[in-house]
Amino acid sequence: MSDRSRTNQLLYQAELLALSSSEEDEHAIARGMAQEEGALALFELALTSLLREVTEHARLTQHEWRYLLSDEGPAMAELQRLRDLAHDQDSWLCWLVMQLDKLHSSDGAAKRRAPHPGMIAVGDQASFREQLITHLNAAKREVAALRETSQEW
């Protein structure tokens, strides 16, 4: 499988996991949290695959996303574009990096939701699942733009 195909596959699988499950039982909350964190982990794998894809011509020996997106990473236009996104507070990549830091911490990224509908919730705040889907879609648009730029070279 090519890096491009793998990136597409991982983004698709992450989106599938992020879609809500309709089954309601005593494990529904834990299952939902597991799905969210699983989707986030797949999103991380998709980021790594994307980085392999856009840097394949450079024949890099290291593809760890933290290194490639750091200021110490290789000087490449595609990577600089992604670094700039990672620093943009409104971007999918900044959101993803923050969530991955949480995912790799002892607290995790998914949070328990109110156990029943009678609980008061903060208005206009998207659920983690909704944010995940929004940022996955933004990532897919960015992947398409990066591929277009890469083909021009």
Contacts 24+ apart (CB under 8 A), 18-25: 18/129, 18/132, 18/133, 18/136, 19/133, 20/129
CB 9 within 8 A of CB 1: yes
Per-residue pLDDT tens over the stretch 52-111:
988 888 888 888 999 999 999 999 989 999 999 999 999 999 999 999 999 998 888 887
pLDDT in the model for residue 121: 54
C-alpha dist (Å) from residue 104 to 17, 38, 113, 127, 129: 19, 12, 20, 20, 18
pLDDT in the model for residue 132: 93
pLDDT in the model for residue 69: 96
pLDDT in the model for residue 120: 54
CB 74 within 8 A of CB 55: yes
Closest CA to 20 of 5, 3, 34: 34
Q: Is the pLDDT confidence value at 150 over 70?
A: no
Closest CA to 50 of 136, 118, 126: 136
Per-residue pLDDT tens over the stretch 108-130:
888 766 555 555 555 557 889 89
Per-residue pLDDT tens over the stretch 10-40:
998 888 888 866 677 777 888 888 889 999 9
CB 65 within 8 A of CB 51: yes
Q: What is the pTM of this model?
A: 0.83
